[in-house]
Amino acid sequence: MPTPLDPDMFDPVCPSTLMPLRFADKWAGMVIRCLEQGPRRFSELRVPLRSVSAQSLTTSLRHLRRDGIVVRTERPGPERHVEYALTPLGQSMLPVIEALCAWSADHWDELLDAREASAGQVRT
């Protein structure tokens, strides 16, 4: 019989709550990849992320800004010009995301098989 879980195993100030790339925010990694080559306007981000609603993309960008991964810059001029770019902290995530992408590519068939098997199971 395994040892019972410690009710205090998750410290209230545990760094896992600061993790900017959450499983719940499925767009964050894609946004970071879109900004890999330099600053982009919102409309530019919408091109490869066309399946993402404007509201979801805005929310993802706000969370990434809050976590210090992305910076928003408004350029002065007659027309409003806003760009998003990775901060040095955000750029440091690129190798991590690349490793996750490589792992996913290596295990793509296994992941699909697992999902198909799970979808075929009857839940009780």
The token pair at 75 is 């350029």
Name the strand (E) or helix (H) holding 86: strand 81-86
Residues 57, 19: Cα–Cα separation, whole Å: 18
- Give residue 85's pLDDT: 96
d(CA 47, CA 34): 10
Spatial distance between the Cα atoms of 81 and 97, rounded to a whole number of angstroms: 28
> pLDDT (tens digit, 0 to 9) for every residue of the chain, 124 residues total?
566 545 565 555 554 444 444 544 778 888 898 898 899 989 888 888 888 899 999 999 999 999 899 999 998 888 888 999 999 999 999 998 888 778 877 887 888 888 888 887 755 5
pLDDT at 58: 95
What's the pLDDT score for residue 18?
46
Q: Note the pLDDT of residue 22.
A: 53
Please give the order of strands across the beta sheet that includes 81-86.
Answer: 40-41, 81-86, 70-75
Total-model pTM: 0.74
Its CATH architecture, for the domain 15-92, is: Orthogonal Bundle (1.10)
